[in-house]
Structure 1
Amino acid sequence: MADQKFFLSCKDYLVSGEEFDLFWSDKYEILETKPAPLDLSFYYSSDNYISHTDSKETFREKLYQRVKNFMLNKKLGWIKKYKMSGKLLDVGAGTGDFLIEAKKQGFTAYGVEPNETARGVAFHKDVNLEKSFKDLEDTNFDVISMWHVLEHIPDQEKEITSLYNLLTEDGILIVAVPNFKSYDATFYKEYWAGYDVPRHLYHFSQNGLTSFFFDNNFELVEKRPLIFDSYYVSLLSEKHKTGSWNYFRAFYTGLKSNMRARSSSEYSSLVYFFRKRQKP
């Protein structure tokens, strides 16, 4: 993305301890992580990367898994506003729980997950995940979901083109990403866990994401907040900033972020619902 200027420096708190810079793109209000690692797989090699495991050993992990399970029905309820059934593709399917619930609720469910560890966990639940889109090129989907996945993708335009080609003409594309203009992001600054460098290669504002997708032949039909994200992200941010799990302070900051977002709409994370628009 052209016309970039320095925005902020952040640290990788999960694996390497390395510093990375975020650069602002004026065209889209999108931040880009630099330098982008050549081997991203190294930066996911941690037992603490919770979305690739089903661990419930600590209080934090139990809390995460409980909220995740609660949100499965919520997400499918949102989808059923547009599609009651059909073929559903979950990109970045993690350990497969969303697909299991989608099947229970009447969808023919498929998943893509590049991480071998996560695919292995899903396999033990009888969920077979593809490693890439290549094995699905002859299939079209009524619903494609990306729950906190887009920010991990190196070649954004190529990814969106693939999604466009995989989606049926009247299909719905769902994209959930963190919002760097939220209160918790501006409060924690370089400690904000939503940046999660270098695993998050891009960082989105609302205007940036919708404009980028519009230029790649998708139109926005709806947005919804992910209310719980502000609390969990604030908890991780407290750990980054202070070295301690300050649960009460994190809860207060997450609550404050959600309260402010009621008027500003700048929630910690948002879900965007897109449809195809006619290519110019």
Structure 2
Amino acid sequence: MNKLIIDACPLCGSTHLRPFLTCRDFYASGEPFELFRCDDCSFTFTRGFPVEAEIGKYYETPDYISHSDTKKGAMNFIYHLVRRYMLAKKARLVSREAHLRVGKILDIGTGTGYFANAMQMRGWEVEAIEKNAAARAFAQEHFALKVKSEDALSTFGAGTFDVITLWHVMEHLEHLNETWERFSELLTEKGVLIIAVPNCASYDAERYGEHWAAYDVPRHLWHFTPATMQQWGAKNGFILAARHPMPFDAFYVSMLSEKYLGNSFSFIRGMIAGTVAWFNTQAKKERSSSMIYVFRKKKE
């Protein structure tokens, strides 16, 4: 297997890197992967992840929920209930932050198409991109969405979109710097970039350490905090306009983390841990399990 060994921080370019954690792929292969952290900017990443052409097998499981749409098991059932609520909340967030009732939106990593469909139903002109062929087929069959493959990102013209969204997608993208540069090109001058990612500075990340489910190696290549997300935006000509916690994520992530620890009653223990995490983030929103970041382009 060909692995990408990173010797310089993708965010700041520093070579002052140190091992941070060794995590296991609990989802598919059982293999260990190392996380490294930059001493200069604190950006954390998976070092030695499979290259883009070979990482596909780590997604090839019927239980990978963003691709399979499975409802089997209590955790997946809850995931779908929460998603239904969050779809409406995300749609309202997009309109509020873009100051538009309708517009043109690009959803990158659309999965099985639920969010893209929600925006389409609200009158938005939607373009959607998804790497996984089975997920694209699901979106076509269930929502009549013509989801494009990842190659389509290079085909859109400059200033095409009012909004670009990535819901738990940024952590999967190998070509991180190039993708950020493309965001700036594709958005209108008043365009909005909305990114949701797990927060490795969260309460539950500290609680579970190497068993924290949202490290999800090797599928998650990059591990963000509020501070490093702001740095990524600034590096690429964006201003961080708003941050929003995703409190429900702590419940799902905690349940999976308890399962990875091999604990009995992982569902109940995860619910308890998720509740503690929720209370923890009421005082410190930056400790939320996942965060939504809203970026605007810097004015020339």
TM-score when normalising by structure 1: 0.96
What is the aligned partner in structure 2 of residue 230 from structure 1? 250
What is the aligned partner in structure 1 of residue 77 from structure 2? 62
1:275 aligns with 2:300: no
- For the residue of structure 2 that corresponds to 1:175, the secondary structure is strand
Mapping of residues 1-280 of structure 1, within 5 Å: 1=9, 2=14, 3-38=16-51, 39-82=54-97, 83-125=100-142, 126-132=144-150, 133-137=153-157, 140-242=160-262, 244=264, 246-265=266-285, 266-278=287-299
1:81-126 alpha-carbon deviations (Å, 9 max, x no partner):
1232100110000001111110111211110101112111111121
- For the residue of structure 1 that corresponds to 2:197, the secondary structure is strand
- With 170-179 and 257-266 compared, the bigger mean Cα shift is at 257-266
- Any conservation in 1 of the 2:159–2:185 contact (CA below 8 Å)? no
Q: Percent identity, please.
A: 36
Instruction: Classify 1:73/1:7 alpha carbon distance in 2 versus 1 (closer, same or farther; 3 Å).
Output: same
1:179-233 alpha-carbon deviations (Å, 9 max, x no partner):
1111111011000001000000000111011112111111100010111100000
What is the aligned partner in structure 1 of residue 5 from structure 2? none
- Alpha-carbon distance in 2 for matches of 1:106, 1:26: 46
Gaps of 5+ in 2: 1-8
- For the residue of structure 2 that corresponds to 1:84, the secondary structure is coil
- For the residue of structure 2 that corresponds to 1:81, the secondary structure is helix
- Any conservation in 2 of the 1:231–1:255 contact (CA below 8 Å)? yes
- Alpha-carbon distance in 2 for matches of 1:33, 1:18: 13
- For the residue of structure 2 that corresponds to 1:189, the secondary structure is helix
- For the residue of structure 2 that corresponds to 1:227, the secondary structure is coil
- Alpha-carbon distance in 2 for matches of 1:15, 1:246: 19
- Alpha-carbon distance in 1 for matches of 2:132, 2:157: 20
Q: Which residue identity is paired with 2:296?
A: R
Gaps of 5+ in 1: none
- Alpha-carbon distance in 1 for matches of 2:47, 2:116: 33
Between the two proteins, the alignment pairs up a number of residues equal to 279
Q: Segments of 4+ in structure 1 off by > 3 A? A: none
